[in-house]
Structure 1
Amino acid sequence: MIHKSFRFITASALLALPLVALSIQSVLAETEAVTFTLTNNSTRVLEAFYASPPSTDDWEEDILGVDVLAPGESVKITINDGREDCKYDFKGRLGPSEDGTVGSGELIESAVEVCDGGTYGYSGGN
């Protein structure tokens, strides 16, 4: 009798393992890192670039760090914040124009979807 019960429990546990693995895989798939290519489509140097969930008013750290992105240059960006969706607010800070006719400035774009691993072109109003 005990032997049959143990066999039933073992069989039930083995049958449940694929369901547990599938559930873990599903959770991991929902919170994967978001990777996209940022391209500076403006005529000025992109000095800083920030991303933040649309649900917050706070900006994260400058993604470019100490680097800058010259006009026409691209960089691969990875955001690994564990969020389930892939919409972000982006803020870029452009340096002044080379001829000095335009000063530094910032532009914010809200609820940008970057799930597909494509390219986000920052224009910044040139």
Structure 2
Amino acid sequence: MKKLVLTATAAVALSWASGATAEDLEFLLTNKASSPVIAFHVSPASTNSWEENLLEGGYLDSDYEIDVVIADGQTTCVYDIRAEFEDGDALEDYGLDLCELGSYTFE
């Protein structure tokens, strides 16, 4: 049985600001890379800095997946992502429409 090592939950919630009219955005994050993801950041594409590490205290091992919930009060679907891997590699991807994609896979 596969299990995911995170900070006690199977979903990662990101809560920057609260907005009454904004919808939460949920997508599936899969790690097919050979190294575990030790840090994962999601930021609205309109910002110039990375938000907090959503995996703080945990990691996403190879061949595992997790549901990510972004509850930041934003009305956008377009985000930038950054992942840092245990082997020292990093990946950044910009301008992703996470509402349309529904998932993201590191390969």
| Counterpart residue number, 1:43 | 34
| Counterpart residue number, 2:4 | none
Contact 1:34 1:117 in 2 (8 A): no
| Number of positions where the alignment pairs a residue of Structure 1 with one of Structure 2 | 88
Q: Which has the higher contact order (CA 8 A, sep 6+)?
A: 2
| Counterpart residue number, 2:71 | 80
**Does residue 95 in structure 1 map to residue 86 in structure 2?**
yes
Identify the structure with the greater strand proportion: 2
| Counterpart residue number, 2:105 | 121
User: How many Å apart are 1:118 and its aligned residue?
Assistant: 2.3
Q: Which runs of 5+ in 2 are unaligned?
A: 1-19
TM-score by length of 2: 0.76
TM-score by length of 1: 0.65
After superposition, the C-alpha distances for 1:5-25 in whole angstroms (9 at most, x for unaligned) are xxxxxxxxxxxxxxxxxxxxx
User: Which of 52, 57, 66 does residue 48 from structure 2 map onto?
Assistant: 57
Which amino acid is the alignment partner of residue 112 of structure 1? L
Quick one: percent identity of the two aligned structures?
30
Say which SS state the counterpart of residue 35 (structure 1) adopts. strand
Say which SS state the counterpart of residue 115 (structure 1) adopts. helix
Contact 2:44 2:76 in 1 (8 A): no
Q: CA RMSD in A?
A: 1.5
Q: Which stretches of structure 1, 4 residues or longer, exceed 4 Å deviation after superposition? A: none
